Amino acid sequence: MQDLGINLFFQGRNFVRILEGLWVTVSISLIAVIISIFLGIILGMVMNLKNPVTKAVTRIYLEFIRIMPQLVLLFLVYFGVTRTFHINLSGEVSAIIVFTMWGTAEMGDLVRGALSSIPKHQYESGKAIGLTGFQIYLYIIIPQTVRRLIPLAINLVTRMIKTTSLIVLIGVVEVVKVGQQIIEASRLTTPTASLWIYGFIFFLYFIVCYPISRLSAKLEKRWVSMGG
Amino acid sequence: MDFDFIKQYTPLYVEAALLTLNITVKGVLLSILLGLICSLVRYFKIPVLNRITVIYIELSRNTPLLIQLFFLYFGLPKLGIMLSSEACAIIGLVFLGGSYMAEAFRSGLDSISDIQKESGLSIGLTNLQVFRYIILPQAISVSIPAFSANVIFLFKETSVFSAVALADLMFVAKDLIGLYYKTDEALLMLVTAYCIILLPISAVFRIIERKLRYAGFGN
C-alpha cells in the first residue's frame, strides 16, 4: 500500500520543523508590528499637524506605501537598496524593514483617523470645566483614542502575519520553505506530499490568525458601542 | 541607468500589465458576484447556507493568498485536479476577494437602522420594495469606500501570482534581474507600471466616493 501523506508529519522532526518555520514568520511580523505601532503613533500625530510641509511629505509616503504591493516593496529593499548602496541585507532584515515601513503607514493612518474622529466638543467641554491642555489629552482624548485604536491595531497583526507569507519569495526560510523542503525530500516516498503539506500550512495560518481577528472584532464591538 | 535597456524591454512590461489587468478584472467581477451572494445569504439569514458562508468567510480572510495559491497549484493536482496557472490565479483571487467583498457589502447593509425598514413597512411598502428602494441604495453608498479599498487590495495581491508561474509584472521584473543583472532598471519599470495602473484607479474611486456620499441622513 502506498504511504499515506499524513504519516509525513510523524517522520523525523517534520512536525517540529514546520512549527519552527511558522515561528519565523510570526516573530518577524511581531517585531515589525511592535516597531510600527510606536512609529505609527508618532506618524499619526505628525499627520494631524496643520503644517503644510509635513502634511505633504507624510501624504506622499502614505500613498506610495499603500499603492505598491508589499512584494514590490520587498524586492525594492532586498534587490534594489542593497545594490544601490552596496550593502548586504539578509532576507529577514529586509522583511522587517519593509513590514515596518508598511505597518507604520497603516498604523499612522489609523492613529490620524482616531484622533480626528474625536469630536471637537470633547476638547471644548474639557476646557469649560477647567482642565489644562495636558489634562484634556491625558483624561479625555487618549483613553478614547486608545479604545478605538486597539481593535484596529490587533487587526493589523493578522494582516501582518498573512502578508509575511510573502517573505518566502525573497529566500527567507520560513514555514512555506520548510514545507517545500519536506515535499522535495519525500518526492519518491510520498507523492501526495504537496497536498498534505500545503493543506496543513493553510490551516496553520488559519489557527494563528482566527483567534486574533476574533479578539479584534469582539473588542471593536464592545468599545465602539460604548463610544463617546 | 540604462535607458536603451528600459526602452527595449518596455513591451514586456506592457504585455505583463495587460495580463495582470485581464486577470484582475475577471477576478474582481467574480468576487463582487460571490460577495453579493454571500452578503445576501447572511443578511436574510438563510438557514444552512448562512453557516457555510460564515465558515468560508473566516477561512478565506484568515489565510494568505500565497498559501491558497500553492494549495491550488501544487496540492490539488495530487487529487487529479489540474489547473493552469491562470485558472489558479482567478480561483485564488475570487476565493480571497469574495469574502472581502461580502464583508464590505454586509457592513453597508448592517449600517441601515431598523427604524428605516419599519418606517418603510408602515407606509405600506412590501418587504421587497423596502429592500429595493430604501435599504439597497443607502447600503451601496455606505459600502463604496470599503469596496474601492478592496479592489485596490485585490489588484496588489495579484503580485504574488508570479509564484505560480504566471508571467505578470513581478515575474518579468524577476526575470530581467536574473538574466541581465539590471536591477535598478527592472525595479524602476516595475514601480512605474504599478503607479501607472493604480494611481488612476484610486483617483477614480475617490471621485465616485464623493459623488455617492448621500447615505446617513435620517439615521
How many Cβ pairs within 8 Å bridge chains A and B? 102
Q: How far apart are CA B208 and CA A146, in angstroms?
A: 32
Query: What is the rounded average pLDDT for all residues in chain A?
Result: 87
Crossing angle between the packed helical segments A14-47 and A193-225, to the nearest 10 degrees: 40
| Cβ proximity of B57 and B102 under 8 Å | yes
Q: For a pLDDT cut of 90, what percent of chain B falls above it?
A: 36
pLDDT confidence bin for A1, thresholds 50/70/90: very low
- For chain A, the DSSP string reads -PPPGGGGGGSTTHHHHHHHHHHHHHHHHHHHHHHHHHHHHHHHHHHTS--HHHHHHHHHHHHHHHHS-HHHHHHIIIIIIHHHTT----HHHHHHHHHHHHHHHHHHHHHHHHHHHS-HHHHHHHHHTT--HHHIIIIIIHHHHHHHHHHHHHHHHHHHHHHHGGGGGGT--SHHHHHHHHHHHTTTT-TTHHHHHHHHHHHHHHHHHHHHHHHHHHHHHHHHHT--
Write down the pLDDT at residue A185.
84
Q: How far apart are CA B167 and CA B179, in angstroms?
A: 15
pLDDT tens per residue, range B180-202: 888 888 898 999 999 999 999 98
Write down the pLDDT at residue A224.
66
Amino acid at B196: I
Q: How far apart are CA A41 and CA A96, in angstroms?
A: 18
Structural domains of chain A ordered from first start: 5-225 (1.10.3720.10)
- For A167-212, the DSSP string reads GGGGT--SHHHHHHHHHHHTTTT-TTHHHHHHHHHHHHHHHHHHHH
Which of these, B92, B59, B86, B96, lies nearest to B168 by C-alpha position? B86
pLDDT confidence bin for B49, thresholds 50/70/90: very high
pLDDT confidence bin for B34, thresholds 50/70/90: very high
Flag if B68 and A72 touch (Cβ within 8 Å).
no
Lookup: cell for A112: 490620524
Lookup: cell for A40: 505609527
Q: Which residue has the cell 471644548?
A: A124
Residue of A nearest to B161 (CA): A71
Question: Residue B83's CB: how many other CB atoms inside 10 A?
Answer: 16
Q: For a pLDDT cut of 70, what percent of chain A falls above it?
A: 96
Higher pLDDT, A101 or B214: A101
The full length of chain A comes to 228
Which of these, B35, B148, B143, lies nearest to B93 by C-alpha position? B35
Write down the pLDDT at residue A137.
83
State the smallest CA–CA distance between residue B98 and chain A in angstroms: 17
Lookup: cell for A67: 499603492
Residue B219 pLDDT exceeds 50: no
pLDDT tens per residue, range A25-73: 999 999 999 999 999 989 988 888 888 999 999 989 998 998 899 999 9
- Interface test with chain B among A22, A75, A160, by most B beta carbons within 10 Å: A75
pLDDT confidence bin for B216, thresholds 50/70/90: low
A197 vs B contacts (CB less than 8 Å): 75
| Cβ proximity of A44 and A112 under 8 Å | yes
> At B130, is the secondary structure helix, strand, or coil?
helix
Across the interface, which of A166, A183, A194 has its CB nearest the CB of B66? A166
CATH code for the part of the protein at B3-211: 1.10.3720.10
pLDDT confidence bin for A85, thresholds 50/70/90: confident
Flag if B183 and A83 touch (Cβ within 8 Å).
yes
Which of these, A81, A91, A64, lies nearest to B191 by C-alpha position? A64
pLDDT tens per residue, range B167-177: 888 888 888 88
The full length of chain B comes to 219
Mark out the alpha helices in chain B (DSSP H runs). 3-43, 47-61, 65-70, 85-110, 114-122, 127-129, 136-157, 169-180, 183-211
A67 vs B contacts (CB less than 8 Å): 152, 156, 194-195, 198-199, 202
CB of B91 less than 8 A from some CB of A: no
